[in-house]
Amino acid sequence: ARMDVSLETNEVLIEEIQNDWLRRADWLLRHVDYRRQYDTEFQPSNTYYDIGCSTSELRLYVTKVLVPYKQIWAEAMLTATIEFIWRELGINHVYYHTFETGNKLKAVPGEPPRSIYTKLPKQFGFEVTDKAPVFISQSKFAKRTLKKIKQPTWYYLNL
């Protein structure tokens, strides 16, 4: 998870929940399969030297072992993030980007998975608000960008 933290205002803005581990494993298997079309001896370690598995082991890992993680990854990461914010940082005011406002503020190229910015925060009891985190509303860059958004919104959770 990527977060912006302000201890002064007792706020955290969850920027995003990432699944790099899962995406990279999928990419690696596709890459290895592609390369093996031209070189049947190509192995995962030819791409990442520290991967010590065969192509068949990588395939098993991606298509079987990771499947349950793919199904719960976003929920597990948001649970761990909220737990960290509350227990370790002691912060009560948690914000999470909405799809539209987050894309504009972060200048995201392309579109991230919509469900991570719509369905996921609602599952955890976040409510939509037009009140920006204080540390965001005080940022010169954010102020300029927010003026360009018709109705900027965030998700908010008070712990």
Please state whether the predicted TM-score (pTM) of the whole model is above 0.75: yes
| pLDDT of res. 118 | 82
Q: Cα-flanking dihedrals φ and ψ of residue 49, to 5°?
A: -60, -25
User: At CB < 8 A and 24+ separation, what contacts does 18-26 make?
Assistant: 18/77, 19/70, 19/73, 19/74, 19/77, 22/66, 22/69, 22/70, 22/73, 25/58, 25/61, 25/62, 25/66, 26/62
pLDDT values of the chain reduced to their tens digit, one per residue, 159 residues: 999 999 999 999 998 888 888 989 999 999 999 999 999 999 999 888 888 899 999 999 999 999 999 999 999 999 999 999 999 999 999 999 888 888 777 776 777 777 778 889 999 999 999 999 999 888 888 778 777 888 889 999 999
